[in-house]
Amino acid sequence: MSRGRFITFEGGEGGGKTTQIARLKAALEARGIVVLHTREPGGTEGAEEIRHLLVTGDPGRWDPVTEALLNFAGRRDHVERKIHPALTAGTWVLCDRFADSTRAYQGYGHGMDDDDIESLYRVAVGNLVPDLTLILDLPVEQGLHRAVHQRGGSEDRYERMDKDFHQRLRDGFLDIARRDPKRCTIIDASLEMDAVTKAIFKAVRDRLDLDLS
């Protein structure tokens, strides 16, 4: 059996990742591919407990290094217990956020050192790298407006951080894509949903050689 593909969805708040992952999952399943839709922070029982610590409470609750450590602790559990076994079994894994979110939020957003983040990556994740990363990019104002209307509830710790922070995030994700163009594709998420889906399917065709049209 061939190994599954690992696709990560990244970007700031309100980019419509949930809808787009559901659409890609349905299209892959229609071609007989087994798909796992998962998310970070979270994805396993333990990592979901860590998620709760990260996404609720006061915006200044954690310093950036603690925040990165918590994210990588959850990520290790997720990779070990869920992502690796799924890929080995031939399942395609669609992950709503992965390590680029730590690079963008804790690195570009909160100023944590790049090399330190990469050291944590080596320890927690090892050699696993996504086959394709789709960065859903849109203007900060538009994303925050959408996020506030979509979410509700108490998981709003990051949305309550200031606008400059969200601008650094956006610039950070674009920089990550520029530095790793073989893995990353920028998707214009300001467009209407069908156009975004089309761009994602095109990326899957171009990068992973699978035609979903």
Min. distance of Cβ 128 from ligand TMP in angstroms? Answer: 15
The piece of 23-31, 101-109, 127-135, 178-186 that touches ligand TMP (CB under 6 A) is 101-109
What are phi and psi for residue 38, nearest 5 degrees?
A: -140, 180
Q: What does each C-alpha distance from 10 to 3, 35, 37, 60, 86 come to in angstroms?
A: 22, 18, 14, 23, 20
- Identify the helix (H) or strand (E) that includes residue 134: strand 132-137
Q: Which of 76, 78, 97, 168 binds ligand TMP (CB under 6 A)?
A: 97
Tell me the window of 81-89, 102-110, 129-137, 179-187 that interacts with ligand TMP (CB under 6 A). Answer: 102-110
CB of 211 to ligand TMP, least distance (A): 29
**Going edge to edge, which strands form the sheet with 92-96?**
35-39, 92-96, 6-10, 132-137, 184-188
Q: Which stretch binds ligand TMP (CB under 6 A): 29-37, 98-106, 178-186, 194-202?
A: 98-106
Q: How far is the CB of 158 from ligand TMP (least distance, A)?
A: 3
Among 8, 44, 101, 197, binds ligand TMP (CB under 6 A): 101
Q: Site map for ligand TMP, 59-88, x if CB under 6 A?
A: ------------x-----------------
Rounded-to-integer distance, Cα 75 and Cα 87, Å: 15
The C-alpha atoms of residue 194 and residue 134 are separated, in whole angstroms, by 16
Kindly state whether residue 158 participates in binding ligand TMP, applying the rule CB under 6 A.
yes
Task: Give residue 132's region: left, alpha or beta (phi > 0; psi -120 to 50).
Answer: beta
Q: How far is the CB of 90 from ligand TMP (least distance, A)?
A: 25
Counted residue by residue, the chain has a size of: 213
Our finding on whether 108 is near ligand TMP (CB under 6 A) is no
Q: Which is nearer to ligand TMP, 186 or 212 (CB)?
A: 186
| Torsion of the alpha carbons at 48, 49, 55 and 61, rounded to the nearest 10 | -150
Question: To 10 degrees, what angle do helices 64-78 and 114-124 make?
Answer: 20
Nearer to ligand TMP, 59 or 85 (CB): 59
Give CA–CA dist 53/71, Å, rounded.
10
Q: Which of residues 5-64 bind ligand TMP (CB under 6 A)?
A: 40-41, 54-55
Binding site for ligand TMP (CB under 6 A): 40-41, 54-55, 71, 96-97, 101-102, 105-106, 158
